[in-house]
Structure 1
Amino acid sequence: MSRIERLEWDSSFFGYEVGKIVANDTAIFGLNDFIERTKEFKLIYLFSKQSISLPNITLVDTKVVLSQVCTEIVAEDNVLIQSFNSKKHCFAELKELALESGIYSRFYIDKNFRNQEYEKLYTRWIENAVNDAATFDIIIAIRNNAIIGFATLNKKNSLLADIGLVAVSKNSRGLGVGKQLIQEGILRSKIAGFTEIQVVTQMNNVAAMKLYQSANFKIKEITNIYHLWNP
């Protein structure tokens, strides 16, 4: 029987009880007491490699982890790329793009979130990226003195870098800005001493999947994420 883990950070941040369960075997959902065990939680995140079809459990994300070896590639030169500097650049512009970055996120798609959880969460994430030492770079694309795209680069461990939040403004898409940001992220991760870089996206985010695979990222892992809400 899989254990339901209480998520302290999520519960505190959202203001209601949130739990997580990893389903290695969908047979657990045949147990009569499963729903009873979830009742102490308002929301359960259910992670499974397999598809699950049960009442009250909704698929909200097919999470895809892609990765590749860090290489010294030559990034394209479509726009000016800089590292974000809070004393020089506009955080409000960065925040606005961060809120655009998650439109395929389960926190945006699941309309059971009714207390601006999505906005609060992505605002916190970009604030943390600016202030957290685990984010070793925030690369931004500049045009006409405005931020039109960005990508955060995080340290997962001593060898693995992670591309976190990524966004390009609506008016600048299709111009190669996203590709340049990803290429620059790979290069900077290589220079920083990482040997591998990964990125997480959603399978239904076709544009992102196309972008990462065109940059030679390969699918490493796919996980279905379901939400179970209690009244």
Structure 2
Amino acid sequence: MVKDFEILDWDSEFFGFKVARISSNISQKYYKELISELYHFNVELIYFNSPFDPSESEFYSILKIDEVVELSKELKLKKNFHPKVKFFNQSRATIEMRNLVKRIARRSRFYFDDNITTAKVYELYDIWLDKSVNGIGADTVLVYEENNKIKGFATVKINENNGTGVIPLMGVESKSEGKGISFMLMEAIESYLLEKKCSILKSSTQAKNLKALKVYERFGIKCERGSVINHLWRKPANLI
């Protein structure tokens, strides 16, 4: 049985208020009951990727951010890495990676929520990057390096339970776009996942990420629009 909601302890500590996620499988009728319950749990922010158009309630205002695009590909072709693509084996991210992760952050659901400051979004993605290079939240990090400068990187996570791979973070510097770096990284990711006995690549992105979607589609990744990304913000007590 899928849990109806989850209190997100890490997010709550990071933002300084209680954050929860609602399961995308709940019914529209139960949704109304659930947000009333979460309000009385003093939840300030709710993430909800909804298959239906959620109605605004007396308890929460709704910010519709974007659509989720589900990504999938059956992995088949193993190639040698391009000479400029390698595993990142340092314990600290480089300045180029810091700059790149800011670009990635500017395409995220949090960046398009005016209730969250840009500085806080950058801090969130910096932490995510730090965890990734230290093997927390990612099994490996691949980089494209030229003249001792990292021009692009991708983090890869393996779900051993179902033999799938996920790409949590991927980005290429703006002045290096159009040079095929994303393709080289994707080929390396596919080869790495096949080496690790993964047969499927599954991930997700947002519909706003048009450049990324074009890369994924050209690489043979199936892109399907799915649920709507919503942030529900608790209304002040004096407005209820």
Letter in 2 for 1:62: E
Where 1:198 maps in the other structure, the secondary structure is strand
1:181 maps to: 185
Task: Report 1:138-157 matches (<5 A).
Answer: 138-157=141-160
Match of 1:217 among 221, 225, 228: 221
Where 1:106 maps in the other structure, the secondary structure is coil
Match of 1:49 among 23, 32, 51: 51
Query: How high is the TM-score relative to the length of structure 2?
Result: 0.84
The alignment yields a C-alpha RMSD, in angstroms, of: 2.6
Q: For each residue in 1:66-104, what CA deviation from the matched residue of structure 2 results, as whole angstroms up to 9, or x when unmatched?
A: 111222244785x711111217x8622212211211322
Q: Does 1:16 align with 2:7?
A: no
Letter in 2 for 1:72: L
Match of 1:84 among 88, 97, 100: 88
Q: What's the offset of the Cα at 1:168?
A: 0.2
The answer as to whether partners of 1:75 and 1:180 remain within 8 angstroms in 2 is no
Structure 2 distance, partners of 1:90, 1:226, is 31
Structure 1: give runs of 5+ residues left out of the alignment: none
Percent identity reads: 27
Structure 1 distance, partners of 2:175, 2:96, is 14
Q: What's the offset of the Cα at 1:20?
A: 1.8
Q: What's the offset of the Cα at 1:212?
A: 0.8
Task: Report 1:34-113 matches (<5 A).
Answer: 34-35=35-36, 37-38=38-39, 40-54=42-56, 56-74=61-79, 77=82, 80-86=84-90, 91-113=94-116
The answer as to whether partners of 2:93 and 2:129 remain within 8 angstroms in 1 is no
Structure 2 distance, partners of 1:42, 1:133, is 27
2:203 maps to: 199
Where 2:111 maps in the other structure, the secondary structure is helix
1:28 maps to: 30
Q: 1:188 to 1:5 in 2, by over 3 A?
A: closer
1:166 maps to: 170
Structure 1 distance, partners of 2:149, 2:215, is 23
Q: 1:157 to 1:15 in 2, by over 3 A?
A: same
Q: Does 1:190 align with 2:194?
A: yes
Where 1:28 maps in the other structure, the secondary structure is helix
Aligned residues: 227
Match of 1:119 among 111, 119, 122: 122
Where 2:227 maps in the other structure, the secondary structure is strand
Q: What's the offset of the Cα at 1:115?
A: 7.3
The answer as to whether partners of 2:69 and 2:206 remain within 8 angstroms in 1 is yes
Q: For each residue in 1:149-208, what CA deviation from the matched residue of structure 2 results, as whole angstroms up to 9, or x when unmatched?
A: 001111122511111100000100111111111121111111122111122211121111
The answer as to whether partners of 2:213 and 2:223 remain within 8 angstroms in 1 is no
Structure 2 distance, partners of 1:164, 1:53, is 30
The answer as to whether partners of 1:107 and 1:117 remain within 8 angstroms in 2 is no
Q: What's the offset of the Cα at 1:30?
A: 5.2
Query: How high is the TM-score relative to the length of structure 1?
Result: 0.87
Q: 1:176 to 1:53 in 2, by over 3 A?
A: farther
Which sits farther off after the overlay, 176-185 or 114-123? 114-123
Structure 2: give runs of 5+ residues left out of the alignment: none
